[in-house]
Structure formats: structure tokens, C-alpha cells
Amino acid sequence: MIGGYAAIGCSAATGNWRTAALLLAVMAVVMVGGVFLHWRRFEYRVGVNEIRIDSGILKRTHRSIPFDRIQDVDISQGPILRLLGLARVKFETGGSAGGKDDDGALAGIALTRAETLRDQVRSLRGAGGVVTASEADAASNSPIVFSMDIRRVLVAGVFNFSLAIIAALFGITQTIGDVAGFDLFARRFWRQALDAGSPIVDLILPYHLFAVLAGAVLLIAIGLAAGVIRTVAREFRFRLDRTSAGLRRRRGLFTLTDVTLPIRRIQAAIIASGPVRDNLGWSELKLQSLASDDGSKGDHVVAPLAREYEIASILGELDWRPLDTSVPTSRISRAYAWSFTAPAALLLIPLVILSLVMPWIGAAGLTVVAVLITTRWLCWRRFRYALDTDRLLIRSGWWRRRRIILPLSSIQSADVTESIFSRLFGVAAVTFGVASGRGYSSHRIPAVNREIAYTLRRQALAAYL
């Protein structure tokens, strides 16, 4: 289809309008025909013990999903599905056949049917029987654990500063700029767009510093706007409820999602923040689960912007102890910082020489190296870990700050790794493997004494040994 769009664009740009119209008509027929055939060949059946999904045009796939294998049923609605009263239903099974996200999904069924199907699966899963009206009412009126009003959503958007729109514009100009004859990132384009006598040009050309500052302010404004828009679209009317199955999360402005996270599938908790958010007392809570979130990963955001007491309340719903500041923690080895500082310092000599010949480039290089070394030492100062009875606590990062709560029962593997450089310092890294929604995930302590590393591995796997 991308090749077809390119052919249409080239034909239109060269004036071959008939060819472009013919190609457009052919593509429309192919798309409509493909969708129609897919609809005709897609069927699902709800049996006594399983759901069967038959799909495929030339290659038929018949998939059976037993009720006792379904962990939960997630419902989502995009703008078009909402207008049509339809929903997308996804069956969480802990895996997908062939690695496809849609193997256990129904793309568009009536919303009422989707909700009935979800309640039916929950009631039949491993027990039998049908869902009662009282059970359905209890699910819909479940107690609220955490919610966000529009004001907090906007604040969260400010912290989600993003310049992804700039990258998107760059990609568009690089893709179609040659055909359309423009490039937004070329100086010549802006010189031609503005007359030489324009007061804006007269102001920019003599005052380059003013232009740089104005450009920086514009980038910050674009980043803030993009972060707010993206956050509002995703987190609008965020609500987290406690149900008998687990934690139920509902959110979205254009695309509404209704996801239930079974408590027994939660593997770890990640409390994320940054220097500014941390100083203001805000954090984000993610729960790492065997189920995937939005078909891409196993980290479910259950509190995009919350206070410490709100995070403690959510952890309490999982029967997890909140973080205890009185638990003694250990700092990782200084080798974590020195192993980066030593090779980076070797760059300082050529950069000093370069600064004598090309001051701007040399100064920029020295600044980058200094920032990287400083950041490494700041990360070393913050990185701490502790074994708190039945769980491992890890605090890491300076810019991307993370506090990880990892129950020892969730650890599937513990690897001790050593490199040529780490052996020189007598340290090793310990990596704890945890099952995740899209396969395997890990949490790492990057540099500890070799004997301590093996002790940590033995203690982490004590339940399995």
C-alpha cells in the first residue's frame, strides 16, 4: 500500500492525473474488497468450555481458547467504534499464537455484546455457571482506588514533555519534501518564504542570538503542547477500581479502554519519577504483569501522576507493604562510575586540542563529556538496593528515577555477569529475570563486589533451591 501511495503521489506531481486516479481507484477496490473478504471469513463461537475464532482468507486459522486459560477480557473503543456502538475485545491468555497481537481478539462487535461476553467469560472461567445481575452491578459499581480529574491530567501532560512532533515533521519533509519541492528544515526554504524586506527577517538576520532563543522557546512550547495533548487523549477520565478479579483501569478521550489486571499476575511494581516531579512530590506507578498492556508491553500504568500516600493505597490493594524508608540499603560499587569516567576522560585531551583550533566544536564536546561524567556520578549516588525479607528493593537513575519493588517469588532467574573491565575492579552485575507480558523482562544491579553478587543471587533464588 505504501508503494501505491508513492506511485499516486509521483503521478500527481508529474501531471499524470489519469494514472493517479486509476491507481487510486484500484487501491480503493483492493482495500474495500480485502476488508469485505476478511469480514466474511471471520467468525467466532462461544461454546460451553471455550471460545473458537476462525479467520483467514487463503490461509485459514481455527483457534480455540478454553475459558480456564483466559486471564481476563479487555474492551477498547476508538472514535469510529464509539460512533457505531462497537468495541474491540481482547482475550488475555498470557501468550498469543504465532506472536500476533490479534490472535485472541474480536475487532468489532456490539458494545453490549462485548460487556456480556466479558462477564460471561469471568463467570465461566474455571467455575461454570452464568453471570448474575447482582454480580454485574457489583463489577460496575466497584470501589474507586485512584482517579484523576482534568486538572491533574493537565499537570501530568506538562511532565510528559515531548518533541516527537518535531521528529514526525522531519520524517514527513524527508519523505515527500523532494516530490512537493519544499523542506521545512532547510534555511533556503525560510528565506524564500519570507520577503527580504520583511520586518521578521530584518530582526532575525542581525540578531542570531535572539533567533536562537526564540527557537528554543518555540520548541519548549511545542513540546509542552504535544505532551499535554497526548496525555489528555490517553489519560482522560482515568479511573482505577478494585474488583474481585483485580484492578480495573478505565481511561481515554478518543479511544476508551477498559482493562482488568489480575492481582495474581502482577510480578513487580515500578515507581517512576524525575528530578522535577520528585521534588514536587509526584510519581508514576506501573505494575509489571504477565499480561501485556495495549498489546505491546507488560508494564501497566495504574497511576500516571500520584502522591506517595496514593501509591501506598494502591499497593495496599495488592496486599503489598508500602516502601519503608527505615529499611537499610546498600550502595553499589564506585566502579560503576569509574568504569565510565576513565575512558571518557581520555577524550578530554583531544577535545582540548580541538578547542584551540575550533573553539565552538571543542567547547561543545567538552560540555557533552562533562555532562555525561557528572550524570554517571549522580546515578551512582542514587543507586541503592536492599533485601527486605521477601522482596528486593532497587532505587536507580538520576534523570529517569526508578524505585522497583520485586517480590522474590516473581524472580525466574538471577544471572551474574562479568566483563573485562569489571574484573579489573573486582565487581560484577546481577540481573534478575521476571516473566513479562511480551516475554521476559529484567531488573539489574550493575556493579557490586563479586562475592556480594553471588550472595544476592543465592538469596534471591532461595525459594527455588
pLDDT in tens, 198-222: 555 555 555 566 667 777 788 888 8
For residue 230, how many C-alpha atoms fall within 13 Å in the half-sphere facing its CB? 15
Question: Is 93's pLDDT higher than 60?
Answer: yes
**Mean pLDDT, range 156-179, rounded to an integer:** 71
* The predicted structure's pLDDT at residue 72: 73
| 8 Å CB contact between 230 and 157 | yes
Q: How far is CA 14 from CA 26, 162, 183, in A?
A: 19, 37, 19
* The predicted structure's pLDDT at residue 296: 53
How many domains is the chain partitioned into structurally?
A: 5
* The predicted structure's pLDDT at residue 62: 87
**Mean pLDDT, range 124-136, rounded to an integer:** 46
Higher-pLDDT residue of 178, 320: 320
Same domain flag for 254 and 403? yes
**Whole-angstrom Cα Rg for the chain:** 28
Same domain flag for 320 and 452? yes
Question: Is 5's pLDDT higher than 60?
Answer: yes
Same domain flag for 64 and 115? yes
Q: pLDDT grade, residue 190 (50/70/90)?
A: low
Q: How far apart are CA 146 and CA 284, in angstroms?
A: 12
Q: pLDDT grade, residue 231 (50/70/90)?
A: very high
Domain that holds residue 214: 158-234
* The predicted structure's pLDDT at residue 324: 81
Q: How far is CA 149 from CA 133, 306, 443, in A?
A: 30, 12, 33
Q: pLDDT grade, residue 20 (50/70/90)?
A: confident
The predicted-structure confidence for 341-394, as pLDDT tens digits, reads as follows: 988 888 888 888 888 888 888 888 889 999 999 999 999 999 999 998 889 999
Q: Please tell me the pTM assigned to this model.
A: 0.77
Cell 582540548 identifies what position? 352
Write b or e for each residue in 316-350: b if 16 or more Cβ atoms lie within 10 A of its Cβ, otherwise e: ebbebeebeeeeeeeebbebbbbbbbeeeeeeeee
If you write DSSP's letter for every residue of 74-88 in order, what string do you get?
A: EEEE-HHHHHHTEEE
Residue type, 157: G
Same domain flag for 79 and 136? yes
Query: What are φ and ψ of residue 110, in 5° steps?
Result: -60, 140
Highest mean pLDDT among 296-305, 362-371, 400-409: 400-409
Higher-pLDDT residue of 298, 315: 315
Q: How far apart are CA 309 and CA 324, in angstroms?
A: 12
* The predicted structure's pLDDT at residue 128: 41
**Mean pLDDT, range 433-459, rounded to an integer:** 86
Same domain flag for 292 and 401? yes
149 falls within a domain:
no
* The predicted structure's pLDDT at residue 118: 84
Same domain flag for 175 and 209? yes
Residue that terminates a domain, selected from 348, 366, 381: 381
